[in-house]
Structure 1
Amino acid sequence: MKDGLVIVDKPGGMTSHDVVARLRRLAGTRRVGHAGTLDPMATGVLVIGVEKATRLLGHLALTRKEYEATIRLGQSTITDDAEGEVTASVSADGVTREAIDAGIVPLTGDIMQVPSKVSAIKVNGVRSYARVRGGEDFELPARPVTVSAFAVRDVRHVRHDGGDVVDVDVTVECSSGTYIRALARDLGAGLGVGGHLTALRRTRVGPYGADLARTLEQLTEAFAVLPIAEAAAAAFPRWDVDDRQARLLGNGVRLDAPPSLGAVPTAVFGPEGEFLALVEAREGQARILANLG
């Protein structure tokens, strides 16, 4: 089995761990891991590492993420998405497109966001969702996140049991750690009608977009990986070295760092284009983060 990444188009109803388990069977190896967890309800881009590429996952700069989502205004849920029970319903019939656009403004840019309580965030060593299930009343602290784009694609007024709702299709570009369902909750709260997420599709993680993603059905028919060298070239700055430097690096020797090498993971390639290692500059030397040669 070749080392590399698999960009999976995750189906709804599966956890990220479920996808990893399926990929282990398809790849015939236990050395499979994932980066950037998706909730079971969500679909779309999930980055999977196979064999040596699992060593890249912790270094991948997957801070930029893009989503397509549907927000339902007029209903609040305990999970801030469609997975949880409805806790309040208010008619959203009077909510206008102009009001929605205005409500998005304070949720865009560098903001402080309170994560959804039903999440994996730990509070005093206990997962937040476990505290909710235990009936605890608590508050999570707000965290800084960046929502670089929050755009409305469509607005639909829908007749619904319990009151009229408004479904809003949006596109969101954001930093890692941003909860899209918290954006849905906060948009609804700002409009005075409540809101939750009914659909979520991730279309990009870092440099890997939906155009590279393959469904589990496609992978079952023809399993293939994005070669580790291509994956590294797409994700990291590049440093090409000569034969002597490649040999030294292979022996674990720290090379003198060129001026262009920064304190960020950099992919090192040998004279034949082979991917050798991930390094970063430290006190004038290239410190090896992962030796892949």
Structure 2
Amino acid sequence: MPKVTAPPLPMSGLFGLIKPSGPTSMSLLNDLQRLLSKSRLFEKNPAAEENAPKRKKKRSKKTGDVKLGQGGTLDPLADGVLVLGIDKGTKKLSDFLECTKEYSTTCLLGCETDSYDSEGARVRTAPWKHVTKEKKFKGEIKQTPPMYADFIDYARKGLPLPRPIDPRTVTVHSLELVEWKGSDHSFSWPEKALSDDEKKAMEAAIRGVDKTATLEDVPETSGQDEKPAAFVIKMRVSGGTYVRSLVHDLAHELGSAGHVVTLTRSRQGRFVLEETEDGDRSCIPWSIFEKALTDPGAADEEGWTEWEREVLQHIEVI
């Protein structure tokens, strides 16, 4: 096993984590904290701190905790690149909020949900069988954040939205149809659906912004029992882009409805799943840390466990 050279300890820096679909980003950070706080890579030297000049007391972290943050969360449904900062590295995390990102996402046609993804409830259904090919959708666009989820409380009460939802300018650098699944997939619309009263309330709230909005279901004219079509698109976008909104809008452009059923972030700035450009940095699979949480394993001849070697090989030291 090749030797790794450790910088002065404790370390500060940035590294990329490959988040799995399912858990929240914060739950992974909380679990990771348990490993980091016990490792000599990041553990503060109590003796050095004791001999350091006394400063005015500040509210401190719990004993043994390491300062840890993320440069842009991923929803539980999503997987892929999650940039993490440790100690001084946390000051660099804001750089990753507006950086270029790449995603791969699967859209299931014929139904939109209140969250714009498969974890929400059905809001509206629409015909989908006429959709058979790619629709171009790139360049600078004005994009509105997901409306239903952000104002659900107003919608449930049938109240108009308290203010217009301001669109933001984002750039879709590229958008490519990478796979047309058709009906050859295992996805299905969510079982949960809004009740008639909830739909009326939602519609009333949305009309505070769009007076022509309607949530009326439009059934498919033929083949109602056929599985709705799905397709996979890959995109490179500016920071601040709502992928779920882009899929929602694209489905509307296609004369249908749609929602996200899979979402993978393959790039966040220079941190990537696959290195394709100069300066790209690969990421550490969550499985490495998950295994260490149960059994850290024996240290090697240099005194490092498997997960610590992975961090040493991937971290960008600050």
Q: TM-score, normalised by structure 2?
A: 0.62
Q: 1:156: Cα distance to partner?
A: 2.0
Q: Aligned-pair distance for 1:88? A: 1.8
Q: 1:195 matched to which residue of 2?
A: 258
Aligned pairs for 1:230-249 within 5 A: 231=316
**Residue of 233, 236, 247 corresponding to 1:170:** 233
In the other structure, the counterpart of 1:74 is 110
Compute the displacement of 1:5 (Å): 1.9
SS at match of 2:31: helix
Q: Aligned to 1:219, what secondary structure does the other structure show?
A: helix
111, 114, 125: which one pairs with 2:141? 111
Structure with more strand by fraction: 1
Task: Give the deviation of 1:17 after TM superposition.
Answer: 1.4
Structure 1 CA distance for aligned equivalents of residues 157 and 22 of structure 2: 24
Q: What's the secondary structure of 2:88's corresponding residue? A: helix
1:4–1:227 CA contact under 8 A, matched in 2: no
Deviation larger for 221-230 or 188-197 = 221-230
Q: Tell me the residue number matched to 1:94.
A: 130
Q: Summarize the alignment of residues 1-293 of structure 1 with structure 2, pairs less than 5 Å apart.
A: 1-28=10-37, 29-60=65-96, 62-97=98-133, 101-102=134-135, 105=136, 107-117=137-147, 128=151, 131=154, 136-138=159-161, 139-158=164-183, 164-211=227-274, 212-220=282-290, 221=292, 222-224=306-308, 231=316
Change (3 A) 1:38 1:61: closer
Deviations 1:225-262 (A, max 9, x none): 75699637xxxxxxxxxxxxxxxxxxxxxxxxxxxxxx
Residue aligning to 2:296: none
Q: Aligned to 1:14, what secondary structure does the other structure show?
A: coil
State percent identity of aligned pairs: 29
CA contact (8 A) 1:62 1:205 kept: no
> What one-letter code is carried by the residue in structure 2 that aligns with 1:13?
G
In the aligned structure 1, how far is the partner of 2:158 from the partner of 2:17?
Answer: 36
Following the alignment from structure 1 to structure 2, what is the Cα–Cα distance between the partners of residues 145 and 173? 11
Q: Aligned pair in 2 of structure 1 residues 22, 78: CA closer, same or farther (>3 Å)? A: same
Equivalent residue letter for 1:30: V
Q: Does the 8 Å contact 2:14/2:315 carry over to 1? A: no
Task: Name the CA shift for 1:2/1:131 in 2 (closer, same or farther; >3 Å).
Answer: farther
Question: Deviation at 1:135?
Answer: 5.5
Secondary structure at 1:30 match in 2: coil
Extract unaligned runs of 5+ from structure 2.
Answer: 1-9, 38-64, 190-223, 275-281, 293-305
Inter-partner Cα distance in structure 1 for 2:313 and 2:285: 20
SS of the residue corresponding to residue 245 of structure 2 reads helix
SS in 2 for 1:223: helix
Deviates more, 1:32-41 or 1:136-145: 136-145
- In structure 1, distance between residues paired with 2:265 and 2:27: 17
Aligned amino acid, residue 231 of structure 1: E
Aligned counterpart, 1:250: none
- Within 1, Cα distance between the matches of 2:159 and 2:17? 37
Q: Distance in 1 between the 2:153 and 2:69 partners?
A: 25
Aligned residue pairs total: 220
Q: In 2, distance between residues paired with 1:9 and 1:60?
A: 15
> Judging changes above 3 Å, is the alpha-carbon distance between structure 1 residues 59 and 182 closer, same or farther for their aligned structure 2 residues?
closer
